[in-house]
Amino acid sequence: MRWSHCVLVVLLVWLALPGQTQARKEKKIPDQVHVVRRGESLSSIAEHYQLSVAQLRKANRLRGDQIRVGQRLKLPPFTRPAWHRVDKGETLVGIARLYRLDLDQLRQFNLLSDDRILVGQRLRLSAPESTLTAQPAAPPLPPPTAKPPAKEVPRPPLPDSTLAVAVSDSTADDTAEAADSTAQEGPDSTATAEEETLPPLDYLVQKGESLVDIARRFDLPPGLLRQLNNLKKDRLRPGQKLRLRPSALDEGTHIVRPGQTLTGIARSYRLDVEKLRELNGLDKDGRILVGQKLRLRPTAKDVHIVERGDALWEIASAYGIDAEELKKLNGLDSEEIYPGQELKLSPRKADTFALYRVEPGDNLSEIARLHQMSVPELRRLNKIKGAVIHPGARLKVRPILGDTESLQTAEVNWDSLRVPLRRLGEIESENGPYYRDRPKAPHQLQPDYYENPSLSPIQAYERSQELWQAFAGSVEQLPPLSSALKGWNFVLDPGHGGLDPGAVVQVMDGNGNKVFVVEDEYVYDIAVRVYILLRRHGAQAGLTLLSPNHLLRHSNPAAQTFVNEKNEVYNSREFNEPSNAQSWPRGGRGGNLNARVHIAEKLFGSTPENRRIFLSFHADIDPQAPEAPLVLYYQGKKTRRDLVSRNCAHALLPALGAGAHMRGQSLAVLRNNPAGVKVLLELRNLAYTDHGWALRFEQLRQRDAEKVVKGILEYVSRQALSSK
């Protein structure tokens, strides 16, 4: 027998051995064990291994977060996908760690000679199928470096032993209920989730196809295709390559992530590092902060570079241009725009600026970021040479998008939104106002800090009702905006609340300081703002949850974040009268999402079903989802889909802005909901630093609220036209 035949036989025998082909195909990582070191917490260990706290608890049957030095923690296995598409800011080292791969293995799988990777590049996460050489098992990650014990923050005892501790932005699975997901829906739930299919990046034109044909096939506006491909005419030739959607390289801005350097960022976007430094007014050492926004190309004064979440209508509104005029200027036939797109402004409006009053704690970086400017642009416009600015100074800035109140000032007229209720004991606060009582902490101190309610559920309900009725009466005194929503009834559902804070994430302010954002506190504020706008357009509206001590709130400075208070109650006496620990809204499998549906039915009353709309507000925390708003409609088992709600979701997308997307999913709060239209809105994605940063600013929360109502007005307008 020849030597080559021997080798072939050996290989065939090896492949036929039990478990060998299975080991080669399976991508499950075996269990690992971590021995707890001094100074470690469950949260820090979870973050190191790219797990959630909930996963660690479940794998080790832990009821709380208490661990001891020397304790052996089992690390749960996970299934590794076959491929990973490189996102902006990612490094090869980080990707290897994320999927528990040895760095040399990852290089070998992808034939890489160094660690350079490009945004959008696809990386293999296992050996190619044709490889016959057995790959060694991935070694466990080294244990995290022990940190000194953090200073203990005193916490009151829990009112409910089932309460889950809030988590940081690395624990995405721990906050799956952020979308009231299938994990807590009950025995008839299904994991079905129909992601709206994105078109391919490129498309080769076939014989006889026109631009309009291709646009219709992929559900895209023809104007978007013209813009992406710099087409002056619609004439196409067979074999021509068309771009159907933008890539990450088209972005106009980049948010700095942990571990990134200016050189690495410049390389990712194929930019010269010195030009990037000059464009952003950085020192010669190129020092950047986590969360800092970097401009990727210069902005002419008569051009607006679209960022994720920018909507055409609000860009037009901010610069005092008619939306149709803006579309005509840019050759658009719809309001669909994409991140990184350059929109020409009307020449007579190019010099439109607003004024921003500097508050204590402000810095040039955050002011520029808030107004979609670069620091050098802000300096040039205001003739500022250094970095020092003084409280009370007024700076020329680009208008905040969505600020329809006034083009003379970037400060929204909060007096028209904040209703004074001094007879109910209004308490001024840097993150208020509050009524009758306020949090003990000045701001959210750390991810797991919280304050238990001082009232029983029924007491909190009585106080909430009194506060809300006074507030609702004051809203009636505000001037109407239109009667477009007369006859429509809206139930607004602020996600989480009560014992369930939702996601708690860490972000950085403009000075590089850590601040913490609590999801449920912010989405409640957005829901109240949506309520005001809906009422001013003639609609009926109500909330599923109420707070006993706050309505609209501001943070001045923005670093004074809202505190995780566990005092929101269901807007129903029925659910509060037991007045025990189970009466509070709560998350996880014990959460009573049906209570929200029941309350919605009561609030809708006799309104016809086709005039009922249910909106549930959340902030996602999914690093695999785009950095843009997400609209979820009900998609049940098999092919059961709520088409009416899907149509509404589709109408909302242009108003929510560039990058907004939608999908169907089986969600308890939407299943059996009595509304004709019911959608869940993930207005921000807290897996991205910029979104956690944005929620701290009331101007941007107001902008989010205006987007939602703008989309609703568009949907209702379409319904009116279709009924004629």
Provide the pLDDT confidence category of residue 501 given band limits of 50, 70 and 90: very high
Q: What is the mean pLDDT of residues 95-117?
A: 75
- Per-residue pLDDT at 406: 35
- Least confidently predicted of 359-363, 603-607, 615-619: 359-363
Angle between the N-to-C axes of helices 698-722 and 643-656, in degrees from 0 to 180, rounded to the nearest 10: 130
Say if residues 155 and 565 touch (Cβ distance below 8 Å): no
Give the integer Cα–Cα distance in Å for 385 and 374: 14
Concatenated DSSP letters of 552-585: S---SSTTSPPP-B---EES-HHHHTT-SGGGS-
Say if residues 687 and 632 touch (Cβ distance below 8 Å): no
Give the integer Cα–Cα distance in Å for 496 and 545: 9
Higher pLDDT, residue 14 or 624: 624
- Per-residue pLDDT at 300: 81
Q: Which residues contact 624 (CB under 8 A, 6 or more apart)?
A: none
CA-to-CA separations, 477 to 417, 546, 705, in angstroms, rounded: 11, 21, 20
Considering the chain, what is the average pLDDT of its residues?
79
Higher pLDDT, residue 713 or 53: 713
Q: What does the pLDDT look like over 379-412, one tens digit per residue?
A: 888 998 887 888 889 999 888 776 544 333 334 4
C-alpha of 578 from chain center:
35
- Per-residue pLDDT at 638: 63
Q: What is the mean pLDDT of residues 182-202?
A: 45
Q: What is the mean pLDDT of residues 683-697?
A: 90
Q: Output the CATH code of domain 205-243.
A: 3.10.350.10
CA-to-CA separations, 637 to 170, 641, 674, 701, in angstroms, rounded: 31, 8, 19, 35
Q: Tokens for 113?
A: 């000679």
Concatenated DSSP letters of 457-490: HHHHHHHHHHHHHHHHHHHTTSPP--STTTT-EE
Give the integer Cα–Cα distance in Å for 231 and 58: 55
CA-to-CA separations, 528 to 522, 533, 547, in angstroms, rounded: 10, 9, 11
Centre a 10 Å sphere on the Cβ of residue 722 and count the other Cβ atoms it contains.
8
Provide the pLDDT confidence category of residue 491 given band limits of 50, 70 and 90: very high
% of the chain residues with pLDDT over 70 = 80
**If DSSP codes are grouped into helix, strand and coil, which group holds residue 326?**
helix
Q: Tell me the one-letter amino acid at 203.
A: Y
Q: Name the H helices within 208-261.
A: 211-217, 222-229
Q: Tell me the one-letter amino acid at 315.
A: I
Instruction: Please report, to the nearest 10 degrees, the dihedral formed by the alpha carbons of residues 521, 522, 524, 529 taken in order.
Output: 150
- Per-residue pLDDT at 589: 58
- The fold of the 414-722 domain, in CATH, is Aminopeptidase (3.40.630)
% of the chain residues with pLDDT over 90 = 31
- The fold of the 30-78 domain, in CATH, is Membrane-bound Lytic Murein Transglycosylase D; Chain A (3.10.350)
Q: What is the mean pLDDT of residues 68-81?
A: 80
- Per-residue pLDDT at 12: 44
Is 215 a residue whose pLDDT tops 80?
Answer: yes
Provide the pLDDT confidence category of residue 50 given band limits of 50, 70 and 90: low
- Per-residue pLDDT at 569: 97
Pairing relationship of beta strands 202-204 and 241-243 according to DSSP bridges: antiparallel
Q: What is the mean pLDDT of residues 416-431?
A: 75
Q: What does the pLDDT look like over 533-565, one tens digit per residue?
A: 999 999 999 999 999 999 999 888 888 999 999
Stated length of the chain? 724
Q: Tokens for 443?
A: 């701001």
Q: Tell me the one-letter amino acid at 197.
A: T
Q: Tell me the one-letter amino acid at 34.
A: H
Domain positions in the chain: 30-78, 205-243, 414-722
- Per-residue pLDDT at 707: 94
Q: What is the mean pLDDT of residues 114-127?
A: 79
**If DSSP codes are grouped into helix, strand and coil, which group holds residue 505?**
strand
- Per-residue pLDDT at 626: 78
30-78 and 205-243 share one fold: yes
